Amino acid sequence: MLEMKNVGKVYRTELLETHALRDFSLSVEPGEFVAVTGPSGSGKTTFLNVTGLLESFDSGSYFLDGDDVSRLDDDARSRVRNRKIGFIFQSFNLIPDLDVRDNVEVPLRYRRMGAAERRDRVGKALDLVGLASRSRHYPSQLSGGQQQRVAIARALAGDPAILLADEPTGNLDSLMARQVMDLLEQINIMGTTIIMVTHDPELARRAHRNVQVIDGQITDFKPYEGPHAPVQLEAQAHA
């Protein structure tokens, strides 16, 4: 699913060079749930940005879903992001002016998808996260947990090859955090590959595999024990 080999990323200013990633190599199998941990400034966010094609890198190679995405131009990177990558952010990043339905369909709009198919996909994604009944609510009318579930629906609506989650429960209380984590696990069980950056060791333990990043390099990882068998998940109503 994801294959990074010797990826290097350097931030340069007039005065100094910062090696955010050094010889970073990681392989993620389809259906895996990988937690990336590490202290602040270790390179986790850079890793996530590079993985999400939000930033380019200086050396090494990166294959995503079988395609070499190392040296794509900006347009091609946008297309890959749109079709193959789903993002979940710590602060949800919903668009406040748009209601739940419109928020979820944003990536589909940029895919130039027809209205009927958009409606269908948004409906299914909202069913999955249990928020179909709130489709006309605005983000400000939802709790933090509900907002993150909308963000998850948005990430899933495009049927991505991989889901990148950056501290997905960082802004939630423990109850909501658990619900969101349960949801991510269920999504993973359905077959979606997830890479999650987190500081929380308890959350990291729920992943199949832990990768620890320090100074831009992988220093430790829990071996992969094989994917969960994909299961059919019924839409659930969440509180």
Partner 1 sequence: MFAYDLRLAALSLKRHPGLSALMMLAVALGIAVCTITFTVYHAMATNPIAWKGDQLYAVTVDSWDPEEPANDKQPEMPPEQLTYRDAIALKASDIPARSLVMFKSERVVDPQQSAHKAFRTIIRVTHGDFFPMFETPFLYGSGWDRDADAGPEPVIVLSKESNEKAFGGENSVGRTVRLGDNEFRVVGVLDDWEPAPKFYDLNNGNFQKGEDAFIPFLWGETLELPAVGNTNCWKSQTIESFRDFLNSECVWVQMWAELPDRETRERYQGFIDNYVRGQKTAGRLARPLNNRLFDVDAWLDFNKVVKKDNRVLIGIALLFLAVCLVNVVGLLLSKFLNGAAMTGLRRALGASRKDVIRQHMTEVLLVGLAGGVLGLLLAAAGLAGIRVIYGDNYDRYDQLTQIDPVVVLLTLGLSLLAGFVAGMYPAWRIGHTSPAVYLKTQ
- Residues near partner 1 (CB under 8 A): 45, 49, 52, 54-55, 74-75, 78-79, 81-83, 87, 89, 91, 93, 95, 97-98, 106-107, 109-112, 154, 158
Specify the 3-state DSSP secondary structure of 147: helix
Structure token digits, residue 179: 């619900």
Query: What's the CA dihedral at 124, 130, 136, 141 to 10 degrees?
Result: -150
Q: Compute the least distance from the CB of residue 93 to partner 1, in Å.
A: 5
* Cβ closest to partner 1, residue 110 vs residue 221: 110
* Cβ closest to partner 1, residue 31 vs residue 126: 126
Q: Compute the least distance from the CB of residue 126 to partner 1, in Å.
A: 17
* Cβ closest to partner 1, residue 53 vs residue 181: 53
d(CA 196, CA 185): 11
Q: Compute the least distance from the CB of residue 97 to partner 1, in Å.
A: 4
Q: Are 213 and 36 in contact (CB under 8 A)?
A: yes
Q: Compute the least distance from the CB of residue 55 to partner 1, in Å.
A: 5
C-alpha separations of 197 from 49, 144, 177, 194 in Å: 11, 19, 14, 10
H or E segment at 33? Answer: strand 33-37
* Cβ closest to partner 1, residue 33 vs residue 92: 92
Q: What is the DSSP string of 34-93?
A: EEEE--TTSSHHHHHHHHTTSS--SEEEEEETTEE-TT--HHHHHHHHHHHEEEE-TT--
Q: Compute the least distance from the CB of residue 202 to partner 1, in Å.
A: 24
* Cβ closest to partner 1, residue 138 vs residue 224: 138
Rounded to the nearest angstrom, the gap between the alpha carbon of residue 115 and the centroid of all alpha carbons in its chain is: 25
Residues in the chain: 239
* Cβ closest to partner 1, residue 79 vs residue 124: 79
Q: Are 131 and 153 in contact (CB under 8 A)?
A: yes
Q: Compute the least distance from the CB of residue 231 to partner 1, in Å.
A: 28
